[in-house]
Amino acid sequence: MGRYLKKFSDGTALVVGVLIVLMMLHVTAEVLLRVGFGMHIPGTMEVVTYYYMVAAVFMGIFACTTEDGHIRVDVLAQFLKGRVRLAVELIGLVVMAVYFAIFAYGLYLQAVKSWTRSETVDAIFLELPVWPSRWIAVAGVILSVLSVLYLFRFVWGNRPGGPREAGQ
């Protein structure tokens, strides 16, 4: 599963990178039109806020979790050895999984509420549906839970005296 999760995470990171470039181009075009010609692109702020940023943040959390790239403060843990360090790392992963699971549940409740109301936001000339972006957030955090669970399995499997995965 780890290989597929990693490939999916890499693909997600690529999509997020493309979205960030599109967001940059979109905002740059908005600024140039506004400054140069006194015109604007309707809905720029809403699209950036409800789509580009949501995808970048929540899918970025997933990609970061898969890479085990979250910021750590190892002030004390760096001095721990063996089983104590393993225990601290496993407890940290459990706390992270629980946090992401609770976060995902809260986002899920918001997404359902938004979807049932067909939530939109006024984007000057149109009503932009924002409920799909709520589901993007849910998906990103659920994928983060899966990544943390995989990391837990990997760390647990590579403990001293623990079972090794094939090829290690």
Give per-residue pLDDT as tens, 23-80.
Answer: 999 999 999 999 999 998 988 999 999 999 999 999 999 999 998 887 777 777 778 8
* Whole-Å CA distances, 125 to 33, 34, 39, 78, 128: 17, 17, 14, 56, 9
pLDDT above 70 coverage of the chain, percent:
93
Alpha-carbon dihedral 122, 126, 127, 132, rounded to 10 degrees: -110
- Do the beta carbons of residue 48 and residue 26 sit within 8 Å? yes
pTM of the model: 0.83
Q: What is the pLDDT of residue 164?
A: 42
Q: What tens digit of pLDDT does each residue of 105-118 get? A: 999 999 999 999 99
Other CB atoms within 10 Å distance of the CB of residue 66:
24
Q: What is the pLDDT of residue 1?
A: 63
